[in-house]
Chains A and B, each alone.
Chain A
Amino acid sequence: MNSVVGTPMDRVDGAAKVTGQARYAADYPQEGLLHASVVSSTIARGRVVKVNSEKALQVPGVVAVLDHTNRPHVSSYDDDYSDDDAAEGSPFRPLFNDRVLYSSQPLALVIADTLELARYAGSLVTIEYSQQAHQSDLLAALQQTHEAPAETPEPRGDFAGHFAGADAKVDVTYLTANEHHNPMEPHASTVCYQADGSLVIHDKTQGTQNCQEYLHNIFGLPKDKLRVKAAFVGGAFGSGLRPQYQLPLAVMAALHLKRSVRLTLTRQQMFTFGYRPRTQQRLRLGVDKRGALVAIGHDAIGQTSRFEDFTEHLVEWSGMLYQCDNVALSYRLAPLDVYTPLDMRAPGAGSGVLALECAMDELASAAGLDPVELRKRNFASHNGNEGKPYSSKELLACYEQGAERFGWARRQATPGSMRDGNQRIGWGMAGGVWEAMQMKASAKASLDSTGHLTVSSATTDIGTGTYTVMTQIAADAAGIDVGKVTFKLGDSSLPTAPLQGGSFTVSSVGSAVRQACLTLRERLIERARQQRPDLASEADTAFTLENGQVKAGKHSVPLAELLAVDPQQCLEVQVEANPDDKRKPYSTATHSAVFVEVQVDDDLGTVRVTRVVSAVAAGRVVNPKTARSQILGGVVWGVGMALHEESQTDHALGRILNHNLAEYHVPVNADIGDIDVIFVEEDDRVVNALGSKGVGEIGVVGVAAAVANAIYHATGKRVREFPITLDKLI
């Protein structure tokens, strides 16, 4: 049978998505469903003196108004609010007490017969506060920082000495903005209250079991009474890594009223929880006469909340992407009266590599080197942070193939030297890197007597193509036609899977799926040989399953006969896959080289990204079609990060104010020019048996830097505060 892994198969859930049949968390109808609406704080810090809900309760159709004084019992322990992606500290406890920790914090929940009534009644709830002074501005809190509780690599060599003696150097500071995930689907939970008091919950999440565990701990409900589902997730990008407050609030309402309840956050409320944090990053880079890096210093300060220390891998990249013996990295946090940040697509690398790769461009200028050449000269085959070789790193091929496709050789080095009418043309590039991780994961494979294979795992598909690629992996491993394979996910009752994030789903869940299906095939062959001695001498590879017959050579046996002994005539295999020990001596990562062309209007400062080439080395690509889409999406994110995205806070009010999609700008179709994706051949026998590293994050890493570097090349102007809006260019 031909392998389907590696082929550009259409998405198996494509038809459901283009016909409107795919149901997301808020799309499930439910008999007698109540609707909830959140009332949020207008102050940034203080205490709630009183929640006035009388007027709301007088509205016919309003069932209840919950606040911290009348909510059902919940745990008070920090640990119980923790989850698989929790930051260090005391997690936010919605409606727990009278403390106001940030502006727009949920303080009351109105539950009514209809969505409109809940929203209207919410507008009638007023809250009296006792207000305290707040601080929401990172730049005003740079003196009140503490070391981030992250395992930042120890300094190596003598950074200060070599930086002082470097032949060419840069010492530059960058500012990145707060950005909110803003998946198109707002966070929502539909809690279906069952007759036996158990709950079936459709939630927007990247981890159904993470949510199940969280609810179990907070409400003390047994896990078998809590089933969390997420068949379709309308994007998340990290926003679903932690259970968000709509989930416990909807559950609170359901338990309080013993009714089914839905809570969908408004778009405005999508700005009231985790986000990519604002950072200030100082980069000090030095090279010797040959252009070899002799010193790398990366000092970062990120914002966090007063209740949790959010950390991400912000500075590590500067110690691992390039060869350098003298490296000093530091990472500090500034607590503010804001919500805790949250992992957001390529967390840490998104901001950290942005700063590093802009600084590398500045260094190339300082050293009089072509930006690609500087990077090539400093290629690292070992991860300096870990002192381990990379299992594979086809980054040089990324530089070469990307540059070739882009036409980099025709670039005129002098900034401002390329133009088209009143548009200045700029060509810039940057490198990208992301870890290739693998987590423990389980999968179950089940073959029925018709020859249909159902494989399942509690992972999710946030748009990445999990349904599709797992189907492909399963089909190949089991040796079954891909049309006879179904993959099930998004249900906490399925075999254990890690959160969907970090680009490790294919590596983790895919490995489990593969193992389960290989084992299933082995067992089937074993059985066939036992039952039919005429098959005993056939090689494993000779066995096929077609039309309900297991065949090998000239012989065959009906599948139904082989499965007659199994319960429900189904052969089942469940496995748990763990990262292989052979990974241990290696460092594993994906890499990219991104080339960008921009047009900058001379007089108006407007920037158009007209052309992008992204060359990616991510091991074996399971599905070039969906993988390409991941990279395309990453590029769009990078363009947004470079030019558009910023959650703007009025620091006097401590409140984010562009909390909508008209003024929190994500790129629109017209912002995106031609994008060319190259998957560079990369053979990796170490990372996992699939040889596949994952592509969810790498597509975004480096893009914003390449855009910024292209803008410099167009204009001669280094803008070090992101996003690069036109006011910074005129």
Chain B
Amino acid sequence: MTATPDQGALQRPLQMTINGEHKTLTVHPWTTLLDLLREQLDLAGTKKGCDHGQCGACTVLRDGKRINACLTLAVMCEGAELVTIEGLADGDRLHPMQQAFITQDAFQCGYCTPGQICSAVGLANEGRAHNRDDIRELMSGNLCRCGAYSNIVAAVEEALPLIKGARP
């Protein structure tokens, strides 16, 4: 491409709900959901590990389903209900998955953790994990370089029965 288009003219309005809060925003079409959260909304709990859908650190819940925010264009989230790691706890009361991650020491550096937890909540919503091997496979979209995998499996196992609405 030779000439850079007028960036301002390309901006788009965007309405979505983030962690229960209705947001009216203006975004460039090339802004990813991840960059919107991190750079514009100061929701830096969602992490950028690879920016290419290869690590899962940016996992958030869109309409209850886990997705990679890094490969999602923000402009395509019109009307979506988004939950990020910042929106899981009920005030000071941690979400059961968050508590289980602490109890089982399911993280070390903590960088992949928001994505792991959102992913695990998404897994609970899907209701397809029936045993440890299922959890291992269905949590494989989230890399953990510290190698906390066995504790992550233990945490998910611990939290699954405690999550309201989770399908067995």
Contact = CB atoms under 8 A, between A and B. Distances in A.
User: CB–CB under 8 A between A and B in the complex?
Assistant: yes
B72 interface: no
B148 A267 contact: no
Interface string A622-646: 0001101110111111000000000
Contact of A633 (B89, B111, B146): B146
Contacts of A625: 105
A658 to B, nearest CB: 11
Given A27-B44, A184-B112, A628 B4 contact: no
Nearest to A182: B145
Given A186-B48, A661-B50, A14 B102 contact: yes
B117 A18 contact: yes
A74 interface: no
Contacts of B117: 18
A235 B146 contact: yes
Choose among B42, B52, B88 the residue with the greatest number of A CB atoms under 10 Å from its CB.
Answer: B52
Contacts of B55: 184, 267, 661
Interface in B20-58: 28, 30-31, 35, 38-39, 42-52, 54-55, 57
A122 to B, nearest CB: 13
A675 B52 CA distance: 30
Contacts of A19: 45, 85-86, 88-89, 94, 98
Interface residues of A, number: 68
B145 A629 contact: no
A669 B149 contact: yes
B108 A232 contact: no
Interface residues of B, number: 61
Contacts of B28: 116
Contact of B152 (A17, A462, A669): A669
A61 B145 CA distance: 36
Contacts of B65: none
Contacts of A13: 110
Given A267-B51, A464-B108, A661-B55, A669 B94 contact: no
A21 B86 CA distance: 8
Interface string A48-63: 0000000000111100
Given A116-B35, A669-B136, A10 B107 contact: no
Contacts of B46: 20
A185 B142 contact: no
Nearest to B147: A636
A11 B114 CA distance: 16
B82 interface: no
Nearest to A629: B105
Contacts of B105: 10-11, 625-626, 628-629
Interface in B57-99: 57, 84-86, 88-89, 94, 98-99
A145 interface: no
A22 B113 CA distance: 10
Interface of A: 10-11, 13-24, 26-29, 58-61, 114-117, 120, 182-186, 232-237, 264, 266-267, 462-465, 625-626, 628-630, 632-637, 660-662, 666-672, 674-675
Report, nearest first, the 3 A-B pairs whose CB atoms are least far apart. A20-B45, A636-B147, A234-B111
Given A267-B55, A462-B109, 8 more contacts: A10-B103, A14-B101, A16-B110, A19-B88, A19-B89, A26-B48, A232-B109, A633-B146
